Structure 1
Protein backbone atom coordinates (compact mmCIF):
# COMPACT_ATOMS: atom_id res chain seq x y z
CA UNK A 1 0.00 0.00 0.00
CA UNK A 2 2.84 2.38 0.84
CA UNK A 3 4.50 1.67 -2.52
CA UNK A 4 1.22 2.31 -4.32
CA UNK A 5 0.72 5.58 -2.46
CA UNK A 6 4.26 6.67 -3.32
CA UNK A 7 3.77 5.87 -7.00
CA UNK A 8 0.47 7.74 -7.02
CA UNK A 9 2.09 10.78 -5.39
CA UNK A 10 4.94 10.62 -7.89
CA UNK A 11 2.54 10.47 -10.84
CA UNK A 12 0.59 13.41 -9.44
CA UNK A 13 3.75 15.44 -8.96
CA UNK A 14 4.98 14.63 -12.46
CA UNK A 15 1.80 16.13 -13.89
CA UNK A 16 2.22 19.40 -12.02
CA UNK A 17 3.55 22.14 -14.37
CA UNK A 18 5.59 23.66 -11.53
CA UNK A 19 7.23 20.31 -10.83
CA UNK A 20 7.97 19.79 -14.52
CA UNK A 21 9.64 23.20 -14.56
CA UNK A 22 11.67 22.22 -11.50
CA UNK A 23 12.81 19.01 -13.21
CA UNK A 24 13.85 20.94 -16.33
CA UNK A 25 15.74 23.44 -14.17
CA UNK A 26 17.52 20.62 -12.34
CA UNK A 27 18.59 18.95 -15.57
CA UNK A 28 19.90 22.23 -16.99
CA UNK A 29 21.80 22.96 -13.78
CA UNK A 30 23.39 19.52 -13.90
CA UNK A 31 24.40 20.02 -17.53
CA UNK A 32 26.22 23.25 -16.68
CA UNK A 33 27.91 21.72 -13.64
CA UNK A 34 28.92 18.72 -15.75
CA UNK A 35 30.71 21.01 -18.20
CA UNK A 36 32.54 22.80 -15.41
CA UNK A 37 33.61 19.51 -13.85
CA UNK A 38 34.76 18.15 -17.21
CA UNK A 39 36.88 21.27 -17.71
CA UNK A 40 38.42 21.10 -14.24
CA UNK A 41 38.56 17.41 -13.36
CA UNK A 42 38.24 15.58 -16.67
CA UNK A 43 41.20 14.07 -18.50
CA UNK A 44 41.74 17.08 -20.75
CA UNK A 45 40.90 19.56 -18.03
CA UNK A 46 43.38 18.01 -15.63
CA UNK A 47 46.07 18.43 -18.26
CA UNK A 48 45.20 22.12 -18.32
CA UNK A 49 45.52 22.28 -14.55
CA UNK A 50 48.81 20.42 -14.60
CA UNK A 51 47.40 17.47 -12.66
CA UNK A 52 47.64 14.81 -15.36
CA UNK A 53 50.09 11.93 -15.15
CA UNK A 54 51.72 13.03 -18.39
CA UNK A 55 52.84 16.30 -16.78
CA UNK A 56 55.76 16.69 -14.42
CA UNK A 57 55.35 15.82 -10.76
CA UNK A 58 53.29 18.11 -8.55
CA UNK A 59 56.28 19.14 -6.48
CA UNK A 60 58.35 19.97 -9.55
CA UNK A 61 55.55 22.09 -10.99
CA UNK A 62 55.05 23.81 -7.64
CA UNK A 63 58.69 24.87 -7.54
CA UNK A 64 58.14 26.60 -10.87
CA UNK A 65 55.43 28.76 -9.32
CA UNK A 66 51.79 29.19 -10.30
CA UNK A 67 50.83 28.25 -13.82
CA UNK A 68 48.77 31.06 -15.29
CA UNK A 69 46.80 30.16 -18.39
CA UNK A 70 45.81 32.74 -20.92
CA UNK A 71 43.40 31.98 -23.72
CA UNK A 72 44.87 29.12 -25.73
CA UNK A 73 48.43 29.68 -24.46
CA UNK A 74 50.52 26.72 -23.28
CA UNK A 75 47.38 24.63 -23.16
CA UNK A 76 45.72 21.95 -25.24
CA UNK A 77 42.41 23.83 -25.17
CA UNK A 78 41.20 27.31 -25.98
CA UNK A 79 39.70 29.09 -22.99
CA UNK A 80 37.66 32.29 -23.00
CA UNK A 81 38.14 34.89 -20.31
CA UNK A 82 36.48 33.97 -17.03
CA UNK A 83 34.61 36.82 -15.35
CA UNK A 84 35.19 35.61 -11.84
CA UNK A 85 37.54 34.01 -9.36
CA UNK A 86 39.42 30.73 -9.73
CA UNK A 87 41.05 28.87 -6.85
CA UNK A 88 42.97 25.64 -7.32
CA UNK A 89 44.34 23.79 -4.31
CA UNK A 90 44.08 26.90 -2.19
CA UNK A 91 45.71 29.35 -4.57
CA UNK A 92 43.46 32.14 -5.78
CA UNK A 93 43.66 34.23 -8.92
CA UNK A 94 41.25 36.75 -10.34
CA UNK A 95 41.48 37.12 -14.13
CA UNK A 96 39.77 40.45 -14.98
CA UNK A 97 37.13 40.14 -17.68
CA UNK A 98 39.04 42.22 -20.23
CA UNK A 99 42.61 41.45 -19.24
CA UNK A 100 44.92 38.53 -19.94
CA UNK A 101 46.97 39.12 -16.78
CA UNK A 102 45.40 37.76 -13.60
CA UNK A 103 46.23 39.41 -10.29
CA UNK A 104 47.44 37.30 -7.39
CA UNK A 105 47.06 38.53 -3.84
CA UNK A 106 48.57 37.55 -0.52
CA UNK A 107 49.17 39.08 2.89
CA UNK A 108 52.88 38.56 2.45
CA UNK A 109 55.09 40.41 0.03
CA UNK A 110 56.11 38.58 -3.16
CA UNK A 111 58.13 39.88 -6.08
CA UNK A 112 56.37 40.66 -9.32
CA UNK A 113 56.70 37.69 -11.66
CA UNK A 114 56.26 37.76 -15.43
CA UNK A 115 54.26 40.97 -15.34
CA UNK A 116 51.78 39.66 -12.79
CA UNK A 117 51.05 42.22 -10.10
CA UNK A 118 51.31 40.40 -6.76
CA UNK A 119 49.67 42.54 -4.11
CA UNK A 120 49.75 42.35 -0.32
CA UNK A 121 46.16 43.21 0.60
CA UNK A 122 44.25 39.93 0.75
CA UNK A 123 44.57 36.61 2.54
CA UNK A 124 44.96 34.42 -0.52
CA UNK A 125 48.37 33.32 -1.63
CA UNK A 126 49.35 32.84 -5.26
CA UNK A 127 53.00 32.06 -4.50
CA UNK A 128 52.72 29.34 -1.88
CA UNK A 129 56.22 28.05 -2.53
CA UNK A 130 57.40 31.39 -1.05
CA UNK A 131 54.69 31.53 1.61
CA UNK A 132 54.18 28.17 3.31
CA UNK A 133 53.27 29.50 6.74
CA UNK A 134 49.51 29.24 7.34
CA UNK A 135 49.54 31.66 10.26
CA UNK A 136 49.59 34.52 7.76
CA UNK A 137 46.28 33.51 6.20
CA UNK A 138 47.56 31.35 3.36
CA UNK A 139 45.41 28.27 2.86
CA UNK A 140 47.82 26.56 0.49
CA UNK A 141 51.33 25.23 0.87
CA UNK A 142 53.88 23.83 -1.57
CA UNK A 143 53.89 21.47 -3.32
CA UNK A 144 50.08 21.47 -3.55
CA UNK A 145 49.81 24.61 -5.65
CA UNK A 146 48.25 24.87 -9.09
CA UNK A 147 46.40 27.65 -10.80
CA UNK A 148 44.19 26.57 -13.64
CA UNK A 149 42.08 27.89 -16.43
CA UNK A 150 38.35 27.77 -16.97
CA UNK A 151 36.28 26.45 -19.83
CA UNK A 152 33.64 27.62 -22.24
CA UNK A 153 31.10 26.37 -19.71
CA UNK A 154 32.15 29.18 -17.41
CA UNK A 155 31.45 31.70 -20.12
CA UNK A 156 28.06 30.19 -20.88
CA UNK A 157 26.98 30.19 -17.26
CA UNK A 158 28.09 33.83 -16.99
CA UNK A 159 26.52 34.92 -20.26
CA UNK A 160 23.86 36.96 -18.44
CA UNK A 161 24.59 40.55 -17.47
CA UNK A 162 25.35 40.92 -13.80
CA UNK A 163 26.45 37.33 -13.21
CA UNK A 164 29.80 36.75 -11.54
CA UNK A 165 31.28 33.45 -10.59
CA UNK A 166 33.84 31.52 -8.61
CA UNK A 167 35.39 28.11 -9.21
CA UNK A 168 37.38 26.15 -6.66
CA UNK A 169 39.33 22.98 -7.42
CA UNK A 170 41.42 21.09 -4.90
CA UNK A 171 42.58 17.87 -3.31
CA UNK A 172 42.02 16.88 0.31
CA UNK A 173 43.85 14.32 2.43
CA UNK A 174 40.51 13.24 3.85
CA UNK A 175 37.57 11.07 2.87
CA UNK A 176 34.94 12.32 0.46
CA UNK A 177 32.34 11.87 3.23
CA UNK A 178 34.26 14.27 5.49
CA UNK A 179 34.52 16.94 2.80
CA UNK A 180 30.84 16.55 1.95
CA UNK A 181 29.97 16.95 5.63
CA UNK A 182 31.80 20.28 5.76
CA UNK A 183 30.03 21.55 2.65
CA UNK A 184 26.55 20.22 3.41
CA UNK A 185 25.89 19.82 7.15
CA UNK A 186 24.17 22.90 8.65
CA UNK A 187 26.28 22.77 11.81
CA UNK A 188 29.49 22.93 9.71
CA UNK A 189 28.36 25.19 6.88
CA UNK A 190 29.87 28.34 8.38
CA UNK A 191 33.33 26.78 8.24
CA UNK A 192 33.28 27.51 4.51
CA UNK A 193 30.55 30.15 4.21
CA UNK A 194 30.52 32.71 7.05
CA UNK A 195 27.62 34.60 5.42
CA UNK A 196 25.23 31.63 5.45
CA UNK A 197 22.33 31.95 7.89
CA UNK A 198 19.79 29.20 7.23
CA UNK A 199 18.42 26.65 4.78
CA UNK A 200 14.77 25.65 4.64
CA UNK A 201 13.18 22.96 2.48
CA UNK A 202 10.14 24.48 0.77
CA UNK A 203 9.01 21.29 -0.96
CA UNK A 204 10.49 17.82 -1.21
CA UNK A 205 9.87 16.13 -4.56
CA UNK A 206 10.14 12.47 -5.65
CA UNK A 207 13.79 11.82 -6.43
CA UNK A 208 12.89 9.45 -9.28
CA UNK A 209 11.61 12.40 -11.32
CA UNK A 210 15.22 13.42 -12.06
CA UNK A 211 16.82 10.74 -14.23
CA UNK A 212 20.42 11.20 -15.33
CA UNK A 213 22.38 8.40 -16.95
CA UNK A 214 25.13 7.09 -14.70
CA UNK A 215 23.71 8.75 -11.59
CA UNK A 216 21.28 7.93 -8.79
CA UNK A 217 19.20 10.82 -7.49
CA UNK A 218 19.28 10.82 -3.70
CA UNK A 219 17.40 14.06 -3.04
CA UNK A 220 15.29 16.46 -5.09
CA UNK A 221 13.44 19.52 -3.90
CA UNK A 222 13.05 23.26 -3.69
CA UNK A 223 14.87 25.07 -0.90
CA UNK A 224 15.36 28.63 0.25
CA UNK A 225 18.54 29.94 1.85
CA UNK A 226 19.35 33.17 3.65
CA UNK A 227 22.70 34.93 3.77
CA UNK A 228 23.98 37.79 5.90
CA UNK A 229 25.00 41.04 4.29
CA UNK A 230 28.74 41.07 3.45
CA UNK A 231 28.89 44.78 4.31
CA UNK A 232 26.76 47.46 5.95
CA UNK A 233 25.98 49.08 2.60
CA UNK A 234 24.65 45.82 1.10
CA UNK A 235 21.30 44.16 1.82
CA UNK A 236 21.23 40.54 3.01
CA UNK A 237 20.33 38.02 0.31
CA UNK A 238 18.06 35.04 0.02
CA UNK A 239 17.76 32.44 -2.73
CA UNK A 240 15.06 30.09 -3.96
CA UNK A 241 16.61 27.18 -5.80
CA UNK A 242 16.02 23.71 -7.14
CA UNK A 243 18.43 21.37 -5.36
CA UNK A 244 19.46 17.89 -6.48
CA UNK A 245 21.84 15.56 -4.68
CA UNK A 246 23.30 12.72 -6.75
CA UNK A 247 25.66 9.79 -6.43
CA UNK A 248 27.37 8.05 -9.32
CA UNK A 249 26.40 4.47 -10.02
CA UNK A 250 29.96 3.32 -9.30
CA UNK A 251 29.85 5.09 -5.92
CA UNK A 252 33.00 7.17 -6.43
CA UNK A 253 31.42 10.60 -6.95
CA UNK A 254 28.77 12.72 -5.26
CA UNK A 255 27.27 15.92 -6.61
CA UNK A 256 25.09 18.72 -5.33
CA UNK A 257 23.44 20.86 -8.01
CA UNK A 258 21.46 24.07 -7.51
CA UNK A 259 19.83 26.66 -9.76
CA UNK A 260 17.32 29.45 -9.11
CA UNK A 261 13.67 28.87 -9.91
CA UNK A 262 10.83 31.38 -10.23
CA UNK A 263 8.03 31.13 -7.66
CA UNK A 264 6.18 34.45 -7.31
CA UNK A 265 3.93 32.96 -4.63
CA UNK A 266 6.92 32.63 -2.29
CA UNK A 267 7.58 36.16 -1.13
CA UNK A 268 11.06 37.49 -0.44
CA UNK A 269 11.60 37.91 3.33
CA UNK A 270 11.35 41.49 4.51
CA UNK A 271 14.68 43.29 4.33
CA UNK A 272 16.21 40.71 1.95
CA UNK A 273 16.98 40.77 -1.77
CA UNK A 274 16.55 37.57 -3.78
CA UNK A 275 19.67 36.68 -5.75
CA UNK A 276 19.61 34.52 -8.86
CA UNK A 277 21.88 31.49 -8.90
CA UNK A 278 22.91 30.60 -12.45
CA UNK A 279 24.85 27.52 -11.37
CA UNK A 280 25.81 26.32 -7.93
CA UNK A 281 27.12 23.08 -6.54
CA UNK A 282 30.06 20.76 -6.35
CA UNK A 283 31.42 17.33 -7.21
CA UNK A 284 33.50 15.31 -4.75
CA UNK A 285 35.39 12.41 -6.30
CA UNK A 286 36.98 9.78 -4.08
CA UNK A 287 40.53 8.98 -5.16
CA UNK A 288 41.32 6.74 -2.17
CA UNK A 289 39.67 6.02 1.20
CA UNK A 290 41.47 9.02 2.69
CA UNK A 291 41.84 11.26 -0.36
CA UNK A 292 39.44 13.07 -2.67
CA UNK A 293 39.23 15.83 -5.29
CA UNK A 294 36.55 18.53 -5.22
CA UNK A 295 35.27 20.93 -7.87
CA UNK A 296 33.11 23.79 -6.57
CA UNK A 297 31.13 26.16 -8.81
CA UNK A 298 29.21 29.28 -7.80
CA UNK A 299 27.90 31.70 -10.44
CA UNK A 300 25.21 34.17 -9.42
CA UNK A 301 23.56 37.52 -10.05
CA UNK A 302 23.22 39.43 -6.75
CA UNK A 303 20.19 41.24 -8.22
CA UNK A 304 21.30 44.69 -7.25
CA UNK A 305 24.29 46.95 -7.00
CA UNK A 306 27.20 45.67 -4.91
CA UNK A 307 30.23 47.97 -4.49
CA UNK A 308 33.38 46.72 -6.18
CA UNK A 309 35.39 46.59 -2.93
CA UNK A 310 32.77 44.20 -1.51
CA UNK A 311 32.90 42.04 -4.66
CA UNK A 312 36.70 41.91 -4.48
CA UNK A 313 36.41 40.67 -0.90
CA UNK A 314 33.63 38.10 -1.28
CA UNK A 315 34.56 36.51 -4.60
CA UNK A 316 37.95 35.20 -3.46
CA UNK A 317 36.24 33.84 -0.36
CA UNK A 318 33.78 31.91 -2.53
CA UNK A 319 36.60 30.55 -4.68
CA UNK A 320 38.43 29.39 -1.56
CA UNK A 321 35.51 27.20 -0.41
CA UNK A 322 37.26 23.99 -1.47
CA UNK A 323 40.49 24.94 0.30
CA UNK A 324 38.63 25.72 3.52
CA UNK A 325 36.58 22.50 3.32
CA UNK A 326 39.75 20.46 2.78
CA UNK A 327 41.45 22.19 5.69
CA UNK A 328 38.53 21.42 8.04
CA UNK A 329 38.24 17.79 6.88
CA UNK A 330 41.98 17.20 7.27
CA UNK A 331 41.89 18.76 10.74
CA UNK A 332 39.04 16.44 11.73
CA UNK A 333 40.94 13.40 10.46
CA UNK A 334 43.98 14.32 12.55
CA UNK A 335 42.38 15.70 15.73
CA UNK A 336 38.75 14.59 15.68
CA UNK A 337 37.68 18.25 15.75
CA UNK A 338 36.19 20.30 12.96
CA UNK A 339 37.36 23.68 14.26
Structure 2
Protein backbone atom coordinates (compact mmCIF):
# COMPACT_ATOMS: atom_id res chain seq x y z
CA UNK A 1 0.00 0.00 0.00
CA UNK A 2 2.86 2.38 0.87
CA UNK A 3 4.59 1.75 -2.48
CA UNK A 4 1.30 2.07 -4.37
CA UNK A 5 0.55 5.40 -2.71
CA UNK A 6 4.07 6.64 -3.47
CA UNK A 7 4.56 5.44 -7.06
CA UNK A 8 1.09 4.65 -8.40
CA UNK A 9 -0.18 1.36 -9.91
CA UNK A 10 3.15 0.34 -11.52
CA UNK A 11 6.56 0.21 -9.81
CA UNK A 12 9.76 -1.83 -9.71
CA UNK A 13 11.26 -3.78 -6.81
CA UNK A 14 14.61 -5.22 -7.87
CA UNK A 15 13.94 -7.56 -10.79
CA UNK A 16 10.19 -7.54 -10.17
CA UNK A 17 7.66 -5.18 -11.75
CA UNK A 18 4.67 -4.76 -9.43
CA UNK A 19 1.26 -4.23 -11.06
CA UNK A 20 -1.57 -2.98 -8.82
CA UNK A 21 -4.37 -2.07 -11.19
CA UNK A 22 -7.10 -4.38 -12.49
CA UNK A 23 -6.88 -3.14 -16.08
CA UNK A 24 -3.09 -3.36 -16.15
CA UNK A 25 -3.17 -6.85 -14.66
CA UNK A 26 -5.59 -7.91 -17.39
CA UNK A 27 -3.23 -6.49 -20.01
CA UNK A 28 -0.28 -8.43 -18.59
CA UNK A 29 -2.21 -11.70 -18.43
CA UNK A 30 -3.54 -11.32 -21.98
CA UNK A 31 -0.02 -10.79 -23.33
CA UNK A 32 1.45 -13.89 -21.69
CA UNK A 33 0.70 -16.00 -24.74
CA UNK A 34 0.05 -19.71 -24.95
CA UNK A 35 3.03 -20.69 -22.80
CA UNK A 36 3.31 -18.23 -19.87
CA UNK A 37 6.54 -17.91 -17.88
CA UNK A 38 6.00 -16.78 -14.31
CA UNK A 39 9.41 -17.19 -12.66
CA UNK A 40 12.48 -19.04 -13.89
CA UNK A 41 13.60 -19.91 -10.37
CA UNK A 42 11.74 -19.75 -7.08
CA UNK A 43 11.73 -21.38 -3.69
CA UNK A 44 9.01 -23.87 -4.69
CA UNK A 45 11.04 -25.16 -7.65
CA UNK A 46 14.13 -25.38 -5.47
CA UNK A 47 12.34 -27.79 -3.14
CA UNK A 48 11.42 -29.98 -6.12
CA UNK A 49 15.08 -30.07 -7.24
CA UNK A 50 16.39 -30.83 -3.75
CA UNK A 51 13.97 -33.75 -3.39
CA UNK A 52 14.33 -34.96 -7.00
CA UNK A 53 10.66 -34.36 -7.81
CA UNK A 54 9.00 -33.32 -11.06
CA UNK A 55 7.21 -30.01 -11.46
CA UNK A 56 3.46 -29.89 -11.04
CA UNK A 57 0.90 -27.42 -12.31
CA UNK A 58 2.01 -24.67 -9.91
CA UNK A 59 5.76 -25.00 -10.48
CA UNK A 60 5.82 -25.85 -14.21
CA UNK A 61 6.47 -23.18 -16.86
CA UNK A 62 5.94 -22.68 -20.59
CA UNK A 63 5.17 -25.75 -22.69
CA UNK A 64 5.52 -28.08 -19.70
CA UNK A 65 2.84 -26.07 -17.85
CA UNK A 66 0.57 -26.06 -20.91
CA UNK A 67 0.79 -29.86 -21.29
CA UNK A 68 -0.06 -30.46 -17.63
CA UNK A 69 -2.79 -27.84 -17.66
CA UNK A 70 -4.40 -29.31 -20.78
CA UNK A 71 -4.52 -32.76 -19.18
CA UNK A 72 -5.72 -31.66 -15.74
CA UNK A 73 -8.19 -29.20 -17.28
CA UNK A 74 -10.26 -31.94 -18.88
CA UNK A 75 -11.97 -33.17 -15.75
CA UNK A 76 -11.73 -30.39 -13.18
CA UNK A 77 -10.68 -26.86 -14.09
CA UNK A 78 -13.50 -26.05 -16.52
CA UNK A 79 -16.76 -24.92 -14.82
CA UNK A 80 -18.90 -27.31 -16.87
CA UNK A 81 -16.66 -30.23 -15.86
CA UNK A 82 -16.78 -29.21 -12.19
CA UNK A 83 -20.52 -29.91 -12.25
CA UNK A 84 -19.65 -33.62 -12.49
CA UNK A 85 -18.67 -33.55 -8.83
CA UNK A 86 -21.68 -31.72 -7.43
CA UNK A 87 -22.98 -34.87 -5.74
CA UNK A 88 -19.89 -35.51 -3.65
CA UNK A 89 -19.34 -31.79 -2.97
CA UNK A 90 -22.91 -31.46 -1.69
CA UNK A 91 -22.35 -34.44 0.61
CA UNK A 92 -19.21 -32.82 2.01
CA UNK A 93 -20.98 -29.45 2.38
CA UNK A 94 -23.83 -31.13 4.27
CA UNK A 95 -21.30 -32.73 6.62
CA UNK A 96 -19.69 -29.32 7.21
CA UNK A 97 -23.06 -27.86 8.23
CA UNK A 98 -23.62 -30.74 10.65
CA UNK A 99 -20.13 -30.26 12.10
CA UNK A 100 -20.74 -26.53 12.59
CA UNK A 101 -24.01 -27.30 14.37
CA UNK A 102 -22.15 -29.73 16.62
CA UNK A 103 -19.36 -27.22 17.35
CA UNK A 104 -21.92 -24.53 18.19
CA UNK A 105 -23.61 -26.89 20.64
CA UNK A 106 -20.29 -27.29 22.49
CA UNK A 107 -19.95 -23.55 23.06
CA UNK A 108 -21.57 -21.99 26.10
CA UNK A 109 -23.37 -19.40 23.97
CA UNK A 110 -24.61 -22.00 21.50
CA UNK A 111 -23.59 -19.83 18.54
CA UNK A 112 -19.79 -19.47 18.50
CA UNK A 113 -17.51 -21.59 16.30
CA UNK A 114 -13.90 -21.06 17.32
CA UNK A 115 -11.23 -21.07 14.57
CA UNK A 116 -13.63 -21.17 11.62
CA UNK A 117 -10.62 -20.92 9.28
CA UNK A 118 -9.43 -24.36 10.34
CA UNK A 119 -12.93 -25.79 9.85
CA UNK A 120 -13.06 -24.39 6.31
CA UNK A 121 -9.62 -25.89 5.61
CA UNK A 122 -10.91 -29.28 6.74
CA UNK A 123 -13.98 -28.85 4.55
CA UNK A 124 -12.05 -27.90 1.41
CA UNK A 125 -9.48 -30.65 1.99
CA UNK A 126 -12.26 -33.22 2.38
CA UNK A 127 -13.90 -31.93 -0.82
CA UNK A 128 -10.79 -31.94 -3.03
CA UNK A 129 -9.69 -35.33 -1.68
CA UNK A 130 -13.14 -36.80 -2.35
CA UNK A 131 -12.89 -35.58 -5.96
CA UNK A 132 -9.32 -36.77 -6.51
CA UNK A 133 -9.35 -40.11 -4.68
CA UNK A 134 -13.08 -40.90 -4.78
CA UNK A 135 -13.06 -41.69 -1.05
CA UNK A 136 -13.97 -39.75 2.09
CA UNK A 137 -11.12 -38.97 4.48
CA UNK A 138 -13.20 -38.10 7.53
CA UNK A 139 -11.95 -34.52 8.00
CA UNK A 140 -15.40 -33.44 9.21
CA UNK A 141 -15.93 -36.18 11.76
CA UNK A 142 -15.84 -35.35 15.47
CA UNK A 143 -12.43 -37.05 15.67
CA UNK A 144 -10.18 -35.89 12.81
CA UNK A 145 -7.82 -38.55 11.33
CA UNK A 146 -4.22 -37.78 12.28
CA UNK A 147 -2.75 -37.97 8.76
CA UNK A 148 -5.30 -35.56 7.28
CA UNK A 149 -4.80 -33.01 10.05
CA UNK A 150 -1.04 -33.38 9.56
CA UNK A 151 -1.41 -32.41 5.89
CA UNK A 152 -3.50 -29.34 6.76
CA UNK A 153 -1.03 -28.29 9.47
CA UNK A 154 1.84 -28.77 7.02
CA UNK A 155 0.25 -26.35 4.56
CA UNK A 156 0.22 -23.69 7.27
CA UNK A 157 3.79 -24.53 8.31
CA UNK A 158 5.01 -24.38 4.72
CA UNK A 159 3.63 -20.91 4.08
CA UNK A 160 4.93 -19.66 7.43
CA UNK A 161 8.47 -20.90 6.70
CA UNK A 162 8.26 -19.74 3.06
CA UNK A 163 8.15 -16.09 4.14
CA UNK A 164 11.55 -16.41 5.86
CA UNK A 165 13.11 -18.65 3.19
CA UNK A 166 12.19 -16.16 0.49
CA UNK A 167 13.65 -13.17 2.34
CA UNK A 168 16.76 -14.57 4.02
CA UNK A 169 20.00 -15.30 2.09
CA UNK A 170 20.82 -18.95 1.42
CA UNK A 171 23.84 -18.99 3.74
CA UNK A 172 21.48 -18.68 6.72
CA UNK A 173 19.92 -22.09 6.01
CA UNK A 174 22.57 -23.93 8.02
CA UNK A 175 22.03 -21.63 10.98
CA UNK A 176 18.30 -20.91 11.06
CA UNK A 177 15.48 -23.51 11.17
CA UNK A 178 13.21 -22.14 8.43
CA UNK A 179 14.60 -24.01 5.40
CA UNK A 180 14.38 -27.39 7.15
CA UNK A 181 10.88 -26.52 8.37
CA UNK A 182 9.93 -25.66 4.80
CA UNK A 183 11.29 -28.95 3.42
CA UNK A 184 9.66 -30.99 6.21
CA UNK A 185 6.26 -29.43 5.52
CA UNK A 186 6.51 -30.31 1.84
CA UNK A 187 7.73 -33.83 2.73
CA UNK A 188 4.60 -34.35 4.83
CA UNK A 189 2.33 -33.15 2.02
CA UNK A 190 4.04 -35.31 -0.60
CA UNK A 191 3.99 -38.36 1.69
CA UNK A 192 0.21 -38.06 2.02
CA UNK A 193 -0.35 -37.59 -1.72
CA UNK A 194 2.04 -40.38 -2.75
CA UNK A 195 0.36 -42.90 -0.44
CA UNK A 196 -3.09 -41.94 -1.75
CA UNK A 197 -2.04 -42.10 -5.42
CA UNK A 198 -0.23 -45.42 -4.95
CA UNK A 199 -3.30 -46.88 -3.26
CA UNK A 200 -5.48 -45.79 -6.17
CA UNK A 201 -3.00 -47.20 -8.69
CA UNK A 202 -3.01 -50.54 -6.86
CA UNK A 203 -6.83 -50.63 -6.97
CA UNK A 204 -6.85 -49.94 -10.72
CA UNK A 205 -4.18 -52.60 -11.35
CA UNK A 206 -6.17 -55.16 -9.38
CA UNK A 207 -9.26 -54.46 -11.48
CA UNK A 208 -7.31 -54.73 -14.73
CA UNK A 209 -5.57 -57.95 -13.64
CA UNK A 210 -8.94 -59.57 -12.98
CA UNK A 211 -10.37 -58.41 -16.31
CA UNK A 212 -12.79 -55.90 -14.79
CA UNK A 213 -13.57 -52.53 -16.33
CA UNK A 214 -11.99 -49.45 -14.77
CA UNK A 215 -14.48 -46.72 -14.01
CA UNK A 216 -14.10 -43.61 -11.94
CA UNK A 217 -13.84 -39.87 -11.93
CA UNK A 218 -10.82 -37.61 -11.83
CA UNK A 219 -7.77 -39.53 -10.63
CA UNK A 220 -8.89 -42.75 -12.30
CA UNK A 221 -9.20 -40.88 -15.59
CA UNK A 222 -5.75 -39.24 -15.23
CA UNK A 223 -4.03 -42.50 -14.26
CA UNK A 224 -5.70 -44.44 -17.06
CA UNK A 225 -4.66 -41.84 -19.65
CA UNK A 226 -0.96 -42.61 -19.19
CA UNK A 227 -0.06 -39.06 -20.22
CA UNK A 228 1.78 -38.17 -16.99
CA UNK A 229 4.92 -39.61 -15.47
CA UNK A 230 4.58 -40.99 -11.96
CA UNK A 231 6.61 -38.11 -10.52
CA UNK A 232 4.48 -35.53 -12.36
CA UNK A 233 1.40 -37.24 -10.97
CA UNK A 234 2.70 -37.04 -7.40
CA UNK A 235 3.59 -33.35 -7.74
CA UNK A 236 0.35 -32.35 -9.48
CA UNK A 237 -1.87 -34.15 -6.98
CA UNK A 238 0.06 -32.65 -4.05
CA UNK A 239 -0.36 -29.17 -5.52
CA UNK A 240 -4.06 -29.70 -6.18
CA UNK A 241 -4.53 -30.76 -2.56
CA UNK A 242 -2.58 -27.71 -1.43
CA UNK A 243 -4.77 -25.47 -3.57
CA UNK A 244 -7.86 -27.02 -2.04
CA UNK A 245 -6.70 -26.43 1.53
CA UNK A 246 -5.24 -22.95 1.06
CA UNK A 247 -6.79 -21.09 -1.87
CA UNK A 248 -10.36 -22.37 -1.65
CA UNK A 249 -10.63 -22.05 2.13
CA UNK A 250 -9.21 -18.51 2.01
CA UNK A 251 -11.77 -17.52 -0.60
CA UNK A 252 -14.59 -18.92 1.54
CA UNK A 253 -13.23 -17.21 4.66
CA UNK A 254 -13.16 -13.79 3.00
CA UNK A 255 -16.54 -14.26 1.34
CA UNK A 256 -18.09 -15.05 4.72
CA UNK A 257 -16.27 -12.11 6.28
CA UNK A 258 -17.63 -9.66 3.69
CA UNK A 259 -21.15 -11.06 4.07
CA UNK A 260 -20.88 -10.74 7.85
CA UNK A 261 -19.83 -7.09 7.49
CA UNK A 262 -22.75 -6.26 5.17
CA UNK A 263 -26.03 -7.41 6.70
CA UNK A 264 -28.10 -6.07 3.80
CA UNK A 265 -26.06 -8.02 1.25
CA UNK A 266 -26.18 -11.11 3.46
CA UNK A 267 -29.98 -10.93 3.60
CA UNK A 268 -30.19 -10.45 -0.18
CA UNK A 269 -27.97 -13.47 -0.85
CA UNK A 270 -30.04 -15.53 1.59
CA UNK A 271 -33.30 -14.54 -0.12
CA UNK A 272 -31.85 -15.35 -3.54
CA UNK A 273 -30.76 -18.82 -2.43
CA UNK A 274 -34.13 -19.54 -0.79
CA UNK A 275 -36.01 -18.42 -3.90
CA UNK A 276 -34.17 -20.98 -6.04
CA UNK A 277 -33.59 -23.72 -3.48
CA UNK A 278 -36.20 -23.45 -0.70
CA UNK A 279 -36.25 -25.07 2.76
CA UNK A 280 -33.79 -27.96 3.18
CA UNK A 281 -33.40 -28.60 -0.54
CA UNK A 282 -29.75 -28.93 -1.59
CA UNK A 283 -28.83 -26.64 -4.53
CA UNK A 284 -27.52 -28.18 -7.74
CA UNK A 285 -24.95 -26.70 -10.12
CA UNK A 286 -27.87 -25.63 -12.31
CA UNK A 287 -29.46 -23.86 -9.34
CA UNK A 288 -26.24 -21.94 -8.63
CA UNK A 289 -26.17 -20.71 -12.23
CA UNK A 290 -29.47 -18.94 -11.44
CA UNK A 291 -27.99 -17.11 -8.43
CA UNK A 292 -26.19 -14.08 -9.91
CA UNK A 293 -25.77 -12.29 -6.57
CA UNK A 294 -24.15 -15.30 -4.91
CA UNK A 295 -21.77 -15.77 -7.85
CA UNK A 296 -21.00 -12.04 -7.90
CA UNK A 297 -20.14 -12.20 -4.19
CA UNK A 298 -17.55 -14.93 -4.83
CA UNK A 299 -16.20 -13.10 -7.88
CA UNK A 300 -15.87 -9.84 -5.96
CA UNK A 301 -14.12 -11.68 -3.12
CA UNK A 302 -11.57 -13.13 -5.55
State TM-score, norm by structure 1.
Answer: 0.27
Larger Rg: 2
Greater helix proportion: 2
State TM-score, norm by structure 2.
Answer: 0.29
Greater strand proportion: 1
